[in-house]
Chain A
């Protein structure tokens, strides 16, 4: 009996520890949320007031109606969706080709993908700047999408290939015996099975592209074409004095799409972590 009590309280202690850890880790994000709900004056008090006197959505309305936030957000979404579509369409075909077909250079192809998967954007940024300029695409969202494929495509190919490798090849052979053509079975048999993997890859690609900073920072000059990560900094820095409630509101709003993706698709994201490991 005694040991049972001891074991149960040890367990309770452990669970308590978990929630304490989670609270500490979530703290900065909670603090950001709290700050964003404070009126302007409340952020600049000394000593620091933890709990605001009143909650207000004033920072959010300022952000949405008096700044370029919405424009920047739309740019980010366009670039992220564009990158995801391009990379997923090209990458799904390519990854399947690399997984299921034997042809000269297939092995080399896979190794190259892995290599470029690790290739840092900081290395590619100098020459890709030149390439995008040569294509006449500097300061355009199209150019940005193309530059994003340098990291998004290897990532998607690598992850999708791992997903395709988990599909039992017998099912595709059965379809061939049953009368499907090789391309036909790709659409009828393979794609439906690979759907969880394709969703996970799309979500990760979207988040990576949505959060990207360096390329956007260097390739886009016009304010109207900036993406959120770069533009937000620019909203913040141009104001005479930093209004932290607005900055935090921007952080929260900017994170919202990512949060929605995580909450609604946690299952897919975790399976993505399982096979692919995401780009950091």
Chain B
């Protein structure tokens, strides 16, 4: 212990206070936020009171006219209804398929990590690829699905998967389920693996069969994560654009046209940027309500976890 050391000195010259340093670290993010999210959102708000052409980006103040136009037409309400049907339908599909697969995957077997990787794939596919594959599979002349169904004698004519209602909506929901269920699998699997094995052992000793063990142990344990998935995926599916747009383009007629598609159609199809902005604002309001439900739930769960 011969070495005497002084504290490092001469750092005092440009000392930044802690809160200041924290703020400086956040500053670049903040600037991007303000410039690319907050300002545009503000602009969308302003835009929704103007009649602006998408091509010239010029137009005049028209007050609430855009909102009146939008809310006054049945197309908005039909699209809103479609959005709800799509969201609820694909949620039911994803969650039931997701739970089933997660339970199956929650056992030790050879090749489990390969199985998990394959399971993850549809979620990671680009929507464009998903749609191209399914359009090929469902092709009315050379599609493998119709061919198989006809070979098995289920039907003797190609099924109009995407050209009739309600077929188009059902097909879209099924494809959405296929693409989006891995999220549920991974999230639930992560939760399942935290359930202590002793709980199941205790239940076995207490005489519970496999079904009772699922109802009394597994289900209560994954309940909170299920609700979380429901809210999160609910918000995300509500705004889905790519998949539906590429799959059906909203058709037949407006049979599968959801709100995001309506925004696109108004703003970039019919070049009413202002009207598109008005629908965007309306959607923002709906999403904000969903978000606050999520936030309320999230904070309640955190509080519960802290106790």
Q: Evaluate whether A273 and B187 lie within 8 angstroms (CB atoms) in the complex, with A19-B115, A98-B26, A214-B242 already known.
A: yes
A6 on interface, CB distance cutoff 8 Å? no
Mask, A226-257, CB within 8 Å of B = 1, is 00111011001000000010011011001100
Q: How far is the CA of A177 from the CA of B11 in the complex (A)?
A: 15
B121 adjacent to A29 (CB under 8 Å)? yes
Quick one: which of A101, A149, A273 contacts B19, CB cutoff 8 A?
Answer: A101
Chain B residues touching A, majority SS: helix
Number of interface residues of A (CB under 8 A): 100
Contact between A119 and B287 (Cβ–Cβ < 8 Å)?
yes
In the complex, the answer to whether B22 meets A25 with C-beta atoms within 8 Å is no
Interface centre among A118, A207, A255 (most CB of B within 10 A): A118
B128-A122 in contact (CB<8A): no
Per-position 1/0 for A103-134, Cβ under 8 A of B:
11010010110111011111111111111010
Q: Are A31 and B122 closer than 8 Å at their CB atoms?
A: no
The smallest beta-carbon distance between A14 and chain B, in angstroms, is 6
Residue B230 at the A interface, CB < 8 A?
A: no
Give the interface size class of chain B.
35 or more
Provide the residues of chain A in CB contact with B263, threshold 8 Å. Answer: 122-123, 125-126
Chain B proximity of A112: nearest CB distance (Å)? 7
Which residues of the partner chain A approach B7 to less than 8 Å between Cβ atoms?
179
Shortest CB distance B63–A (Å): 19
- Report B3-39 CB contacts with A as 1/0, cut-off 8 Å: 0000110010000001111111110111011011101
* Closest chain B CB from A189 CB (angstroms): 15
Cβ-closest chain B residue relative to A218: B268
Is residue A144 contacting chain B, with contact meaning CB distance below 8 A?
no
Residue in contact with A248 in the complex, picked from B133, B186, B260, B264, CB distance below 8 Å: B133
Q: Residue B129 at the A interface, CB < 8 A?
A: yes
Q: Is the CB of A131 within 8 A of B43?
A: yes
Query: Is A116 within 8 A of B242, CB to CB?
Result: no
A179: chain B residues within 8 A (beta carbon): 7-8
Instruction: List the interface of chain B (C-beta within 8 A of A).
Output: 7-8, 11, 18-26, 28-30, 32-33, 35-37, 39-41, 43-44, 47, 54, 57, 100-101, 104-105, 107, 109, 113, 115-129, 132-134, 136-137, 139, 141-144, 147, 151, 178, 180, 183, 186-187, 190, 232-233, 235-239, 241-242, 246, 259-260, 263-264, 267-268, 273, 276-277, 280-281, 283-284, 287-288, 290-291, 294-295
Q: A28-B133, A94-B29, A109-B30 given; name 18 further pairs at CB < 8 Å.
A: A11-B107, A15-B107, A29-B121, A29-B125, A90-B32, A100-B22, A111-B295, A118-B291, A119-B37, A122-B239, A130-B43, A154-B37, A211-B125, A213-B242, A218-B268, A258-B126, A270-B186, A277-B187
16 contacts between A and B (CB under 8 A): A22-B119, A28-B134, A29-B133, A93-B29, A102-B19, A114-B291, A126-B47, A129-B273, A133-B57, A150-B40, A179-B7, A251-B132, A251-B133, A254-B126, A274-B190, A279-B236
